[in-house]
Chain A
Amino acid sequence: MARLAKSNLPQFAVDIFQNEYLAEGAREVNAIVTVTATGGGTSGSVGSQPVNYADGPDAAVVIMVDCSGSMDYPSDKIRAAREATAAAIDAVRDGVAFAVVAGTHEAKEVYPGGGQLAVAHAGSREEAKQSLRRLTPSGGTAIGTWLSKAEQLFHSRRDISIRHGILLTDGRNEHENPNDLQRTLDRVQGHFTADCRGVGTDWEVQELRRISSALLGTVDIVADPAALADDFRAMMENAMGKEVADVALRVWTPANAAVKFVKQVAPTVEDLSGRRKESGPRAGDYPTGSWGDESRDYHVCIEVPSAAVGSEMLAGRISLVVPQPDGSTEVLSQGLVKAVWTDDIAASTKISPQVAHYTGQADLANAIQEGMEAHRRGDLDSATSKLGKAVQLAHESGNEDTFRLLAKVVDVVNPKEGTVRFRKNVSEADSMTLETRSTKTVRVKKTP
């Protein structure tokens, strides 16, 4: 196992789950790759261990708070945003570099200012909280400018490897061309990660998901502003747990094979296929962002040239790599995806329980998103059938959280059959919550 020079870095383990047996002529190889990082020193409560700052900050955080005019309607939104930001600042570990940005149709540095990041200690945290009084609502929303500002701030401390943003908005990105936002995302992605939160119900799920996906972070709804402080604190604590940045999943495939897709499937579904960067002969890197003590699952699907019964080949070599200061990459751990052609039908028709489970979870996310989209279009039949399928999948796989969210939008008549009826008077918050959290998955139930 690879070890990095710094202490307290997590150890990565890669486990591959697959049925490597293929029927004659079959070409598609599916595998679930479970990556587990342990021993990063964050297993206990945050901040409980002494930190050595001799090497300077090891992480930087920029909080971007929506200060558009709508945050004043109702005014408890901006109050809650201030409180939440204060709670997040309190959760910043000593020695971590941080800044607060007020976002409108432009981005303003609220703390510390001057294009700099502050280093957290009791005094700077207090100053930062005092400065939050300057978070006053007025103006429009152009999230691209906020992200550009965050990028600038992170750029002032290029020595810090873990760079994370927290972004709060309450509305649509109305004062910016969507193409401009996309260009900004293309430019800043890979430079920092960001978790996004929508407060209230006037923001757009797909828009915010696009941002959080590009920045390898989470997206969630905080329908009630009062819940914002707890959510911000949790988000910041999670960010403080990150120990190693810019980890990539490297997928090597043999000649004449092609990667059909690479998806993160747990804790949430995230298609990484389009994020591939070539990294050598027949190898590509898929970014996974920063890691603390955590475990994530990926579904890798590879198409290989068919071979004769009795043949065995390596269909893929999956490794976790992290860039080194000298420009090289270090392999943290790896696993093998194999293909074996057999005429034993019992062997080749068996579907790996992990692959089956996560295929179902990805279908579940799709069914919800398509169902909600159909509902927006006014196509109630299609929406009902999609959400019916979603109910069935959630029920089968034991995804209780998603099932509960579904049940707030549809009346479940028969979960096994997927028979549902749309509820009358579904609240906007409930349908947005369902859509936002549609990508949350559950892990495979342990087989006895």
Chain B
Amino acid sequence: MDQLTLSCPNCAQPVSESDRFCEQCGRDLTAAVNPPSGAAPGGPAGHGYSGAAPAAGRASGADGAAEQGQAYRAEEPVGASGHGGGPESGAPGGVPPMPPGPPAVGVDPRAGLGRGVAEASAAPQAPAHVPGATGDFLLAAPSQLLVSEDDLDPEPDHAPTEPNPVVVIAPGSGPVCVGCGAQRIDADGYCEACGRAQPRPRDHQERALAGVTGVSDRGHRHHRNEDAFAVAATSRPGGSPAVVAVVCDGVSSATRPDEASQAAADTASEYLLEALESGADPKPAMHAAIMAAAQRVEDLANEGPLEPSRNSPACTIVSAIAAGGEVTVGWVGDSRAYWFPDDRVGSERLTVDDSWAARMVEAGLMEEAEAYADARAHAITGWLGADAVEVEPHTTVFAPPSAGVVLICTDGLWNYWESAADLGAVVPADARTRPLEAAQELVRFACERGGHDNITVAVLPCLPSPLSTSYTPTELSLPVMGAGEKREI
């Protein structure tokens, strides 16, 4: 049920357990399963790849920063104790030793404390590469793969400059620059030869759980991924399942937008899980979760360095809960939720943006096409952050009339297919049965269209609601049009 996905440590391309080479860059993936020489295999490493949650447990997939390398590493043979071990199972003898600090993927420090929880890597603070920590390593690439890496770069920045005299690199001997192939990456994550920033865990992330899937990508034109998401599955007090997805888009013109989006996604997801497990009604829970996320982002303003010329950390949020045959959607800003029935007849957008364009249309001042063509179209009028005038979460409850998917996403996706019909046409037909592949495809399509922004998509497959005998119109709680502030995403 809890299916963690794997990514190539070199280029972050999703790979499956059975793949021997990365489809995108050709990296030899089997090297990962070979423990570094001299290490004794078979210890209870506690990487817990399977991360198997107890049947009634919770599986959460906050897209913590620790994923790329660790998700892949998790494939290493881990001996008898393959899953969900507590920290104590990451005992010496594990290969490689666990870095101290935050747990690796699939390891919940609380596991075994009676809650039956296997939460995967909800640890955004976990650095991907703890300097000096032997547990962190990326795979070395054979020399010919470096060439293909360059070929793969759509716009090669600069020719590989300093030929690395060492072509054959022992596995586990250290990371290799994705730009020039030099085998010297400094503790700050830059190549010591060509200075290029190395791929970061957040550049591309995927999480797939039963009932909910999320994929996020940096795109082509932004230097970092300022989107964040969390997906999680749990059960209601009666035992019925509930899934949660949260997608946030950091406001680029504000300071530390990546931290804001991550904090909001984690906070909202955690809040929703607690609320659903305690039997709270989803709609008020959604409202409260967004308010909790807003508070968390507001607090961020006081927790980091101040940049006088920039605004406080800020982000948008859109979240969906699927539980008891109903989907509850909540949002602030211009990240969206859509409903796509299997036959795509009756596709619709479930959210109304907090944006200049949406307000113009809503107030009847402009036609939609005209409003969205305006330079101010994407200025948002609502966001989470210390400088938000007043956070007013919108919530709506929707009973799926047929089988289909609820999709939530950032504008990095919907910018290319603005209407529900257009977007519905590119959502793969089998999105409900293959949600991970659908999310991956959509991200890829957006990248092919230019990848001008970060792209994040979460997909929640839905069956016809027993509560929905007929079509239920969505109810939207919209704020009164006012002279709110505007800013660019």
Cross-chain contact B223 with A310 (CB below 8 angstroms): yes
- Considering only CB atoms, which chain B residue lies closest to A19 in the complex? B309
Does B191 touch A at the CB level, under 8 Å?
yes
Given contacts A257-B195, A312-B224, A313-B197, contact A307 B190 (CB under 8 A): no
- Considering only CB atoms, which chain B residue lies closest to A311 in the complex? B157
Does A308 touch B at the CB level, under 8 Å?
yes
Cross-chain contact B223 with A341 (CB below 8 angstroms): yes
In the bound complex, how far is the Cα of B253 from the Cα of A254, in angstroms?
28
Does B162 touch A at the CB level, under 8 Å?
yes
Does A128 touch B at the CB level, under 8 Å?
no
Does B218 touch A at the CB level, under 8 Å?
yes
Does B219 touch A at the CB level, under 8 Å?
yes
Contacts of B194 in A (CB 8 A): 254-256, 313
Q: Interface residues of A, CB < 8 Å — how many?
A: 30
Given contacts A310-B221, A311-B157, contact A350 B195 (CB under 8 A): no
| Contact for B197 among A305, A314, A346, A347, CB less than 8 A | A314
Does B188 touch A at the CB level, under 8 Å?
yes
Report the minimum CB–CB distance from B181 to chain A (whole Å). 12
In the bound complex, how far is the Cα of B195 from the Cα of A315, in angstroms?
6
- Considering only CB atoms, which chain A residue lies closest to B253 in the complex? A346
Cross-chain contact A255 with B195 (CB below 8 angstroms): yes
Cross-chain contact B155 with A308 (CB below 8 angstroms): yes
Interface secondary structure of A, over-half rule: loop
Does B252 touch A at the CB level, under 8 Å?
yes
Contacts of B223 in A (CB 8 A): 310-312, 340-342
In the bound complex, how far is the Cα of B488 from the Cα of A344, in angstroms?
11
In the bound complex, how far is the Cα of B189 from the Cα of A336, in angstroms?
12
Q: Which residues of chain B in 189-211 are interfacial with respect to chain A, using CB atoms and an 8 Å cutoff?
A: 190-191, 193-197
Does B308 touch A at the CB level, under 8 Å?
yes
In the bound complex, how far is the Cα of B32 from the Cα of A148, in angstroms?
64
Contacts of B224 in A (CB 8 A): 312
- Considering only CB atoms, which chain B residue lies closest to A305 in the complex? B158
Cross-chain contact A256 with B161 (CB below 8 angstroms): yes
Contacts of A256 in B (CB 8 A): 158, 161, 194
- Considering only CB atoms, which chain A residue lies closest to B196 in the complex? A313
- The 8 A CB mask of B174-193 against A (1 = contact, 0 = none) is 00000010000010101101
Does B444 touch A at the CB level, under 8 Å?
no
Report the minimum CB–CB distance from B316 to chain A (whole Å). 18
Does A309 touch B at the CB level, under 8 Å?
yes
Q: Which residues of chain A in 269-308 are interfacial with respect to chain B, using CB atoms and an 8 Å cutoff?
A: 282, 304-308
Q: Can you pick out 13 interface pairs between chain A and chain B where the beta carbons lie within 8 Å of each other? A: A254-B196, A256-B161, A307-B158, A309-B221, A310-B220, A311-B197, A313-B194, A313-B195, A314-B186, A336-B190, A340-B223, A344-B252, A346-B488
Closest 7 CB pairs of A and B: A254-B195, A307-B157, A314-B190, A308-B155, A312-B197, A314-B195, A312-B223
| Known A255-B194, A314-B196; further 8 A-B contacts with Cβ < 8 A | A256-B161, A308-B157, A310-B220, A310-B223, A311-B157, A311-B223, A313-B195, A350-B309
